[in-house]
Every structure is written in structure tokens, then in C-alpha cells.
Structure 1
């Protein structure tokens, strides 16, 4: 949620050019730490040339459908300078599984070069790079890979108006560790500071949630 003019474009739920519906691909990855009700806490570095700054961030997963490569949740930024209260956004995610979605975004102003540049920030992506350069990663079997790659796109503000001084025009490249539930990510928006890093750890809290794509905020 970098600080700048908010983009209020209406998101689309239609499949994107980055989506691949090849039903012959292996089953999507499974991880007990990636499920509805899981909570994560950490920081997002929003530093600029003018100053160093990091926001405390809480994330909760509200829905998760691994077969469809879909998940959703809320993100709460706690110490946003221009906001009187914590800022909560609702986001939807795409799980890169070579079945529903590939490593290439195909939207949100992200080029294939942007994709590779951001995914390459994760060391766990390095072993996959050569295959992705060969066929876009469509032949990869990620079902037992120890990390799950995702894109998170904030869709709307939950508790503040669009004039709050923040933007949700961009999206996050996310890498999730199946071993400990840790999350690292990088925010992409051509009009915001590059490579704003998101770092989250799984907490012990796991309250109610839904494991399918019909959900409600609680």
C-alpha cells in the first residue's frame, strides 16, 4: 500500500493471459500452513530516497481453493503515517501452479521482464528459471516444491476511503515457505518505489475461515 494517488479501476475476475487451464498438469501444491484462518505478522519496507520507513503488517487468509489456484484475505497496515487508524485492504491471490496460473502475470502493467526480475529476487526461484525460459514453466511440476509462489492483488479498502492517500494499484509477488509458513514478497507498481519488501511470519492464531471461494469478512 505505497503512498501516492489511489487507482480506483475496477478489478476483473476474468482469466488473464497469465492463466493456463491445462487440466493435464499435476495437482496444485498442498501445504497445511496455507489455509483459511491462518494469520501472519511482519513488516513492509516502504523506504524511499527521502527516508527509511517500514510499516507493521498483519495478514489473514479468509479463503483458499488450491484446485483453482485461488486464495483471498485481508492485509492490515498498522503505522501508516497519513492514516488515523490501521488501514485494512481486501486482496485476492493467484497461486502459480502451472495449471491455473503461470509465472507470467500478463496484466497489471507487468511485462515478462518485470516478472522475471521480481521472481528472481527469491532464491527459491533460481532452480526453476531455466525451465521457465524454455517453455514459460508450463511443464514444471510444482506439486511437491517446498515453496509456493503467488501474486496478491489488493482489490479495495475495507475501513477507509479511497482518498486515504494510499494506492492499491500494484500487486505483490509472493513466495511462501511450506516448512515454516514464512512469507516474503515484493510490491510492484510502476509509479511507486520499486521492490518494497514484505516479510511475514506465521502466527499461532488460526480462527474460523472458509476453504472455498465463497467467503465473508469477519
Structure 2
């Protein structure tokens, strides 16, 4: 079962003048080929439901704040196939390429704050983010990496599969253990759908991914 690791909110440096080195810390757990496994909670007022979710990173460019990958949702009730695969692209909040304010995808600055503040590790950053969007923060030594993941298209099913990829994920990645916590945002879906993933050691854990050709 996926375990949510308590987040340590003590940063090494979170404020002051930006030194110019704003790239997030190099992390072997955030690299091409790395796999994660866990759940997405899709609870609503009517029912509570959690889907098994697998994620693999297909590309990562820390210098430009970019990463991409595939996401597998397993045994989704309304889908005709046991696995629904999507391709997503991510924005790394590094205050150089991307800030904490989304500025698109129907997300307002208030939506951003409501979602980021759900991560305990964001708390020390909030005051500065409210001042300038966090542009003056130096996150290069921060033990967490904040990201947005936006699903771009379905890989193995059509758009009529009964699922939507209109929204995006607010994501917090722990550099210490590779755990991922996220919240899905879509004005037309149930709010705060929670994503919880842990890094997997393929081979030793018996966990494996299928192969997909990405167009």
C-alpha cells in the first residue's frame, strides 16, 4: 500500500534575494525511467473510490523546468479497458521558468493558493509567494520540488472512454524518498482528488510497466 510520508517543512533557504541559481536540486529519483505507483482518490459526495495509478518519467530537463511521462489508471470503472494510459507534460516550479501561479487552464491565483497550501512543505514559502509569486525564492536547496502535470492525450484509448483530462495536477515531490503527493484541479470535476505515489524499485519489487509507443 502507498504510504504518505510526513513532510518536513524546514527549508535550508526559502527567502531572500534570488542568487540566480534557481534550478531545483538534482535528484536521482526524478530522472528518466523512474517509476512510481500509488492511488488517486476520486471521492465525491455520492461515493468514495480510489484508482490504482502508475507513473513513469519519460523525459526530464531541469534547466528548462520541463518533464514528461505516462500515467496508467488501472481498473477504472467506466472504461472499456483495464488500463487507461495518458501522456502528460510537467512544469517544474523553479521561479525561473515557472512560478507558483499557473496563469492558465482555468486556474486563478486563488485556486493556486488553495491547492499549494494543502502541502505542508509549502507553508514556509507562502508569504513570499503572496508578495511576488515566489520569484525571489531560491529553491535550489529546498528538499521538495513543486510541479504541475498536465495530461495532453490518451495513449491507448479514444477521447470517448468516459474520462476527462481537462484538468491538471498540483504536485509535490520529496527529494529524500521520491514520494509524490498531488491534487487534481478541474472546475468541472470533484475538487481536491488526491494523488499519492511512491517510487518503485522495478525488478526487486516485481512491479513492471507495459511499453507504449508515444507519437
What TM-score, normalized to structure 1? Answer: 0.83
User: Does structure 2 conserve the Cα–Cα contact (< 8 Å) formed by 1:38 and 1:205?
Assistant: no
- On the 8 A contact 2:19/2:138 being kept in 1, the answer is no
Q: Could you give the per-residue CA deviations for residues 14-36 of structure 1, whole angstroms, max 9, x where no partner exists?
A: xxxxxxxxx97314112111000
> Partner of 1:51 in structure 2?
47
- Give the counterpart of 2:91 among 88, 91, 94: 94
- 1:39, 1:202 within 8 Å by CA — same for their partners in 2? yes
Show the counterpart of 2:117. Answer: 120
Select which of 194, 202, 207 maps to 1:205: 202
Aligned length: 188
Q: Secondary structure at the match of 1:125?
A: helix
SS in 2 for 1:201: strand
Match of 2:14 in 1: none
| Aligned pair partner of 1:25 in 20, 33, 39 | 20
- What's 1:187 paired with? 184
Could you tell me which runs of 5 or more consecutive residues in structure 2 were left unpaired when the two chains were aligned. Answer: 1-17
Runs (4+) off by over 2 Å: none
Bigger Cα displacement from structure 2, 188-197 vs 23-32: 23-32
Classify the secondary structure of the residue corresponding to 2:23.
Answer: coil
1:213 alignment counterpart: none
**Structure with more contact order per residue of length (Cα contacts < 8 Å, sep ≥ 6):** 1
Gaps of 5+ in 1: 1-22, 208-215
Q: State the partner residue of 1:63.
A: 59
The whole-number CA distance in structure 1 between the counterparts of 2:202 and 2:171 is 21
Tell whether 2:79 aligns with 1:83. yes
Deviations 1:154-199 (A, max 9, x none): 0000000000000000000000000000000000000000000000
Give the match's secondary structure for 1:205.
Answer: coil
Shift of 1:108: 0.1
Q: What's the secondary structure of 1:58's corresponding residue?
A: strand
TM-score (norm 2): 0.84
